[in-house]
């Protein structure tokens, strides 16, 4: 099978209720880490991995997301006229070529698996990536690029994975491990949000996937799973049942769970501290906070 991965699905239909009231009018994916919307990090990661076609699975109330990816000719002209070349460059880097983005609506909130399966016709007969924008991964080499490179060797289906504490496994898809090398884990099973104490390992699935069209075909035979939703994990696990390879890829990099407020804040601080224009001021502020806290104890 062809191993070139040129399409990616971005499931962005979630209501983002954990961030209410902000998400009452702003899609979660537009919320900013420092000065870039969450979705921009996902797009940049996809581009670095060679993705050329971007498929957004959206829902009601997400039109701000489509607007974000539109051109801003007036703004560009005004920045150009005033000689603000750096800002102009930042703005232009977010531009997407016409015809490279598709928006699909998931009409019913039936779960992540259902959202991904909505893109079946657009995917056709080639391997594709899925990126969950809530999982922001900082690393020298972007996570999806690491996976695309590994996938050239392995084929099969591949999910990003990392160890989490046993107390956290029930929040994730979890791998049952047959075999592992430092980076590649061969899975013999996969379970979505296992009940406490029943997880087959502490290797959690993180929101980066490289999948084959067969995984989408598996949805024909899959009903509702954990939480009453149609689960992507179940369609991937079906590959293992059918004797096909599923691998976990232990990526290099720091992952932030930006679907939670604590994770979002941690990412904000970490990304700001990584920036030359913000580091010193923020660092001084954090040190002062820490000193004040210790003095109060
Ligand atoms: C989804 C997947 C889960 C995966 C997680 C990673 O869950 O269903 O398998 O481990 O993303 O972030 P969600 O966080 O959407 O509940």
Cα of 95 vs centre of ligand 1, distance in Å, is 29
Q: Are 128 and 211 in contact (CB under 8 A)?
A: yes
What is the distance in A from the centroid of ligand 1 to the CA of 179? 23
Quote the CA–CA distance of 111 and 113 in Å, as a whole number. Answer: 6
pLDDT in tens, 113-122: 999 999 999 9
CB 245 within 8 A of CB 150: no
Superfamily of structural domain 7-259: Spore Coat Polysaccharide Biosynthesis Protein SpsA; Chain A (3.90.550.10)
CA 66 remoteness from chain centre = 18
Predicted local confidence at residue 34, as pLDDT: 96
Report the separation in Å between the CA atom of 61 and the middle of ligand 1, taken as the mean of its atom positions.
Answer: 22
Q: How far apart are CA 112 and CA 226, in angstroms?
A: 11
Q: Are 147 and 176 in contact (CB under 8 A)?
A: no
Choose which residue among 57, 106, 132 to substitute to test ligand 1 binding: the one with the highest number of ligand atoms within 8 A of its C-beta. Answer: 132
pLDDT score for 98 = 87
135-190 per-position pLDDT tens digit: 999 999 999 999 999 999 999 999 999 999 999 999 999 999 988 888 999 999 99
Q: What is the pLDDT of residue 70?
A: 87
Q: Above pLDDT 70, what percent of the chain?
A: 100
> Cα dihedral angle (28, 33, 36, 41), rounded to 10 degrees?
-80
Ligand 1 centre to CA of 233 (Å) is 9
Q: Are the CB atoms for 126 and 7 separated by under 8 Å?
A: yes
Strands 203-211, 128-131: pairing kind: antiparallel
The pLDDT of residue 202 is 96
Those residues whose C-beta lies under 8 Å from the C-beta of residue 68, and which sit 6 or more positions away, are 30, 37, 39, 94
Running DSSP on this structure, what letter comes out for residue 199? -
Give the residue-averaged pLDDT of 259-288: 96
pLDDT tens digit sequence for 57-85: 999 888 889 889 888 899 999 999 999 99
Pocket test for ligand 1, best of 112, 202, 203, 228 (most atoms within 8 A of CB): 112
CA-wise closest residue to 10 among 62, 45, 63, 55: 55
3-state secondary structure of 9: strand
Look over the chain and give the mean of its residue pLDDT values, rounded to a whole number: 94
- Picking from 38, 20, 42, the residue whose alpha carbon sits closest to that of residue 29 is 38
Residue ranges of the domains in the chain?
A: 7-259, 260-297
pLDDT at residue 190, rounded to an integer: 97
Check residues 95 and 189 and name the one with the higher pLDDT. 189
Task: Give the atom of ligand 1 at the shortest distance from the alpha carbon of 226.
Answer: 8
Query: pLDDT confidence of 16, banded at 50, 70, 90?
Result: confident
- What local confidence, expressed as pLDDT, does residue 292 receive? 92
Q: Quote the pLDDT of residue 105.
A: 94
What is residue 63's predicted lDDT score, i.e. its pLDDT?
Answer: 87
Q: Which atom of ligand 1 is nearest to the CA of 259?
A: 14
Q: How many residues does the chain have?
A: 297
Q: Which comes out higher in pLDDT, residue 2 or 65?
A: 65
DSSP type of residue 94: T
What distance in angstroms lies between residue 171's CA and the mean position of ligand 1's atoms? 7
Whole-number pLDDT of residue 1: 66
Residue 15 has pLDDT above 90, yes or no: no
Q: How far apart are CA 208 and CA 210, in angstroms?
A: 7
* Ligand 1: lining residues by beta carbon, under 6 Å: 112, 132, 135, 172-173, 192, 204-207, 231-233, 259
Percent of the chain surpassing pLDDT 90: 85
Tell me the pLDDT tens digit for each residue of 220-266: 999 999 999 999 999 999 999 999 999 999 999 999 999 999 999 99
> What is the rounded CA–CA span in Å between residue 109 and residue 95?
29
Residue 30: closest CA among 44, 21, 41: 41
Q: Which residue has the higher pLDDT, 16 or 2?
A: 16
Q: Do the Cβ atoms of 71 and 62 come closer than 8 Å?
A: no
Cα 55 vs. chain centroid, distance in angstroms?
13
Per the DSSP assignment, residues forming a β-bridge with 187 are: 177
Q: Give the pLDDT band of residue 25 (cuts 50, 70, 90).
A: confident
Tell how far the Cα of 22 is from the centroid of ligand 1, in angstroms: 22
Residues contacting residue 137 through CB under 8 Å, at least 6 positions apart: 45, 143, 160, 206, 208, 251, 253, 254, 255, 256
How far is Cα 288 from Cα 291, in angstroms, rounded to an integer? 5
């Amino acid at each position: 099978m062809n191993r070139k991965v040129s399409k990616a699905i971005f499931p962005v239909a979630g209501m983002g209720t954990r961030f209410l009231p902000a998400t009452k009018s702003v899609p979660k994916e537009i919320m900013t880490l420092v000065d870039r919307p969450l979705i921009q990090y996902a797009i940049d990661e996809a581009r670095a991995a060679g993705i050329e076609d971007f498929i957004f699975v959206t829902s009601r109330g997400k039109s701000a997301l489509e607007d974000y990816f539109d051109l801003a000719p007036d703004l560009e002209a005004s920045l150009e006229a005033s000689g603000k070349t750096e800002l102009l460059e930042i703005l232009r880097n977010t531009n997407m070529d016409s015809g490279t983005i598709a928006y699909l609506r998931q009409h019913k909130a039936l779960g992540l698996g259902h959202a991904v399966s909505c893109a079946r016709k657009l995917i056709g007969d080639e391997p594709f990536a899925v990126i969950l924008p809530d999982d922001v991964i900082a690393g020298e080499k972007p996570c999806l690029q690491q996976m695309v490179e590994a996938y050239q060797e392995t084929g099969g289906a591949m999910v990003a994975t990392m160890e989490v504490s046993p107390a956290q496994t029930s929040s994730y898809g979890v791998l049952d491990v047959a075999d592992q090398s430092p980076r590649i884990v061969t899975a013999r099973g996969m379970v979505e949000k296992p009940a406490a104490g029943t997880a087959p390992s502490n290797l959690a699935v993180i929101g980066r996937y490289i999948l084959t069209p067969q995984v989408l075909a598996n949805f024909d035979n899959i009903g509702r799973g954990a939480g009453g939703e149609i689960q992507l994990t179940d369609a991937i696990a079906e590959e293992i049942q059918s004797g096909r390879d599923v691998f976990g890829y232990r990526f290099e990099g720091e992952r932030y769970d930006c679907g939670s407020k604590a994770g979002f804040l941690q990412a904000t601080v970490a990304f700001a501290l990584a920036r030359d224009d913000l580091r010193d001021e923020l660092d001084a502020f954090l040190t002062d906070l820490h000193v004040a806290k210790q003095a109060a104890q």
